[in-house]
Structure 1
Amino acid sequence: METQQIIIWILFLAAAGFMGWRIWKSFDRRNTGGCAKGCGCAADKVTSVKIK
């Protein structure tokens, strides 16, 4: 019974860590581009504005 609980805790902590990482990445604006995915594929908004 104790081994099963350890396995469940490991899986729970891994899932909680993954969700925490995804939440952190959604608020982290350092590497985001213009798209919603945050992969950085679109041009940065600051550099895409033309000054006349």
Structure 2
Amino acid sequence: MIQELILIAIFAGALFYLGRLIYISFASDKPCPKGCGSCDAVDFKKIQEQIKLKEKEKHKVNA
């Protein structure tokens, strides 16, 4: 009997944990789907602008 209660508690905890992860994933206002805030979402436009600036600087040095 006690083993069944422990098993049910573990199973319920696992379901709660998975449900919370899914909820955070979809309810997050951040672009990162993890929702933990440990990383910034990648801004590809900013990266592309930086690459273009470096290429222009490289051409100016070579010219």
TM-score, length-normalised on structure 1? 0.60
Q: How many residues align?
A: 41
* Higher RCO (C-alpha 8 Å, min separation 6): 1
Quick one: percent identity of the two aligned structures?
32
What residue is the counterpart of 1:22 in the other structure? 21
**Hey, which bits of structure 1, 4+ residues long, moved more than 2 A?**
34-38, 40-43
| AA matched with 1:11 | I
Q: 1:36 to 1:22 in 2, by over 3 A?
A: closer
What residue is the counterpart of 1:42 in the other structure? 40
| AA matched with 2:23 | W
Q: Look at both structures and tell me which one has the larger radius of gyration over its CA atoms.
A: 2
Higher fraction of helix: 2
Unaligned runs of 5+ in 1: 46-52
CA RMSD of aligned residues (A): 2.3
TM-score, length-normalised on structure 2? 0.51
Distance in 2 separating the partners of 1:3 and 1:19: 24
